[in-house]
Amino acid sequence: MAVVTGSGFKPGEKVSLIATNDLGAVMLLAIASGTATANPAGAFQVNVKIPAAMTPAGSPHTIRASGDLNTTGLGVVVVVNKNPND
């Protein structure tokens, strides 16, 4: 699992997280709680499962956070240590 945080969303906005792997494949990240919802300040923090398709440690991956009220954001995550059971 990894923790993903974001801000700048509208309060109560439902956020989807999409990542790309080294080959450019797009993957919807599975959120442990099922949903990411922006708090009253427009921020969220969720645990996500790192897909097997996100290759080994040290590889940067772009994550796009997309809200259901048309707010978007981009970030980069680097897998530091991947447990195959997570």
**14 pLDDT above the threshold of 90:** yes
Q: Residue 13 — very low, low, confident or very high, per pLDDT cuts 50/70/90?
A: very high
Cβ-count burial 48-86 (b if 16+ within 10 Å, e if not): bebeeebeeeeeebebebbbeeebeeeeebeeeebeeee
User: What is the pLDDT at residue 22?
Assistant: 66
pTM of the prediction?
0.76
pLDDT at 37: 92
Q: Is the separation of the CB atoms in 17 and 63 below 8 Å?
A: yes
Question: Can you tell me the distance from the alpha carbon of 72 to that of 85, in angstroms, rounded to the nearest whole number?
Answer: 30
Q: Which domains does the chain have, with CATH numbers?
A: 2-78 (2.60.40)
- For the chain, how long is the longest CA-to-CA vector? 37
Q: What is the pLDDT of residues 15-74, one digit of tens each?
A: 988 887 667 777 777 787 778 899 999 998 888 887 777 765 666 777 888 899 988 887
